[in-house]
A = this chain, B = another copy of it.
Amino acid sequence: MADNKPIQPPTGTRDLYPIEAARRRFITEAWRRASINHGFEEVDGPTFEFTELYTKKSGEGIVSEIFGVFSGKDEQGVKALGEKLARGVDAPAPYALRPEFTPTLARMYAAKAASLPKPTKWFTAGPFFRAERPQRGRLREFLQWNCDVIGLALPEKPTPDDVARATAQADAEVIAACVGLLRELGLTSKDVRVKFGHRGLLVNFLAQCVSPFTSADAVVALLDRRPKISDAVFAAEAKQLAFEWEKFDSLVLSYKIHHVFSSVAEVEVAKGVELTSIESYAIQFGEAVRTAGLTNWVELDFSIVRGLAYYTGMVFEVIVDGERAVAGGGRYDNLIELFGGPSTPAVGFGMGDVVLSLVLQDKGLMPSDAELMQISGESPDVFVISNGTPEADAALPAVLADLRRGTRESRGRDSLHARRTNKTTKNVGKLLQEAEKSGAHFAAIVESAGEVTLKNLRTREQDQARTPIASLKAEVLKRLSRVDA
């Protein structure tokens, strides 16, 4: 029929057939495990939010980067929207598909701030949407993992030092979760650089290299242009600004997390110089990075900036092989307040699934299809085969149903993944081949109305004695160590 032409999925979205769904599960489960093991709790919000939630954080410009959403039920609203849209793209739809999680998180935290612990550590992982032209590494629907630490653990009357320490610890904690994930997936500090910047620290460095120091703006602008101009031009302009760039370079280059900072601090403190809060922070951050075992992963890079209007402290990007950004984030101390909550410091990051998957595939770290099916539990526990007699044929469906049956008491641990053939052949040899191909752990050959032969397809051991059908399930659960102690 001419009418029945195939419909495609929208550009930039994905159809996940079983193997792609297993790959997605592999990633989301790794995200989940890394989050939980680092003490983050799962939260989630709506897939679409009021458009205002995003314009409030990012300005009206975001409207042309998101998908507008409206209810087809709301006749009046649809008409009014139509009239607005006809006038131009900046008339927003009432709702938008979420392009990021942070505004939802800020809204949720603000609504319950008084009853939430300090710090509150939340993670989420789900679909997000961007209205852009799809390209390699960027889709219009993608998954994103977010970890955020909101609020600080502080004593009742905190000193500036207490604040610096708690801030540094929270900053290091989100980086630790991110690196923890990458390490578990098989990446090493040779593959990955966590590059961090810090506007306050940059200003502190510049104050030591520009005299008299009034504002960092002109020097920052020059540093931004540096990669595009010649060394001579750069040096000449630096001189005009009284910017001792050689001293600056040596400060940056010599910045080894912890060591330099603690030695700098020791010298300063010995001289009777009081550390600035930013210097305290830098020392504490270095210390937190070191005790978390991340020294080899993290480095200072002032070219990491990421949206000055939004971030208020440390910012970072996670770069693989010097070019692929797999994650990014930083400190945003003003957002909770913007969404109606109490002033609350916060830090977090986001990691998408698209670049991460490409990295894992290119490095051979994505498990094989067979491994994926096993990891995701989609390999059968038992493949049930009839020996071909009418008696066994008749007994098979009930054997299958019994293996699958789960109880509430065991929380489903006594429910087994059991399969049978869909083929009409009665050849036991062929059926055993099919069982092996399915990745099944055991084959159970029904021999009569009362007995099966059990075969471990992974060790290739076959029981010499037959197993009564009545005890088959208990036997398999025992061999899979799935019975509770």
Contacts and interface: CB of A to CB of B under 8 A. Distances in A.
A69 B68 contact: yes
Contacts of A163: none
A33 interface: yes
Interface string A1-18: 100111111100111111
B42 A112 contact: no
Contacts of A48: 10, 13, 67, 97, 129, 141
Nearest to A420: B39
Nearest to A93: B70
B14 A46 contact: yes
B37 A404 contact: yes
Given A36-B417, A73-B132, A339 B404 contact: no
Given A89-B72, A401-B292, A39 B419 contact: yes
A406 B37 contact: yes
B339 A15 contact: no
Interface string A91-128: 11101110000001001101110000111001000010
A66 interface: yes
Interface stretch (A74-82, A231-239, A319-327): A74-82
A24 B339 CA distance: 26
Contact of A46 (B13, B42, B118, B407): B13
A4 B83 contact: no
A306 interface: no
Nearest to A103: B7
Contacts of A84: 82
A417 B9 contact: no
A475 interface: no
Given A4-B340, A7-B340, A107-B9, A16 B33 contact: no
A46 to B, nearest CB: 3
Interface in A38-92: 38-39, 41-50, 52-53, 56, 63-75, 78-79, 81-89, 91-92
Nearest to A109: B17
Given A34-B406, A37-B404, A412-B33, A73 B82 contact: no
B377 A95 contact: no
B64 A72 contact: yes
Nearest to A41: B18
Contacts of A119: 422
A7 B339 contact: yes
A347 B178 CA distance: 43
A41 to B, nearest CB: 4
Contacts of A418: 37, 39
Interface string A219-252: 0000000000000000000000000000000000
B6 A340 contact: yes
A304 to B, nearest CB: 24
Which of A33, A119, A184, A416: most chain B CB closer than 10 A? A184
Contacts of A132: 73
Contacts of A93: 70
A405 B133 CA distance: 38
B78 A406 contact: no
A70 B72 contact: no
Contacts of A202: none
A286 to B, nearest CB: 13
A377 B36 contact: yes
B16 A43 contact: yes
A88 B79 CA distance: 6
Nearest to A176: B401
A186 interface: yes
A337 interface: yes
Contact of A89 (B15, B75, B110): B75
Contact of A79 (B13, B86, B131, B340): B86
A358 to B, nearest CB: 17
A82 B79 contact: no
17 contacts: A6-B110, A6-B111, A6-B340, A7-B339, A9-B49, A15-B108, A16-B43, A17-B108, A37-B418, A47-B129, A48-B97, A72-B131, A82-B84, A155-B424, A180-B404, A288-B397, A292-B401
Given A15-B46, A36-B378, 15 more contacts: A13-B46, A15-B45, A18-B41, A34-B415, A48-B67, A64-B73, A68-B78, A71-B131, A72-B89, A72-B131, A73-B131, A78-B89, A79-B89, A82-B87, A183-B406
8 closest pairs, A vs B, by CB?
Answer: A82-B85, A82-B86, A13-B46, A291-B397, A186-B408, A153-B422, A184-B406, A6-B340
